[in-house]
Structure 1
């Protein structure tokens, strides 16, 4: 089993915050900070220390809730 420690950030709109929180928490990814700025964007910081495949699944699920350009 490969284990990975990873820190990261999301920049989110208000409607994206709760779905991303649920996705990260459901995969035991810790949210270390959440703050907002003007224009109304939220900056979410996370920390994970777990099996690589579990971390990948959690981040993949969180990204599904982010309104980003999909190619």
Structure 2
């Protein structure tokens, strides 16, 4: 970030560093959400009785939904 031509004025480098920090935070949050999605989809693919107990889980396993009723 310092050698991008804007690094002569220290005030500008701080201003331009803020979007980079925000992008880094959003990238970290996005990767965490991707990991959580991978874990939840993996658990939905494996038939587990009462794994989540939520309504969206029943569309992956109709026999469990009928047996719970």
Same fold judged by TM-score > 0.5?
Answer: no
Greater percentage in helix: 2
Q: Which structure has the larger Rg? A: 2
Greater percentage in strand: 1
How does the TM-score come out when normalised to structure 1?
0.25
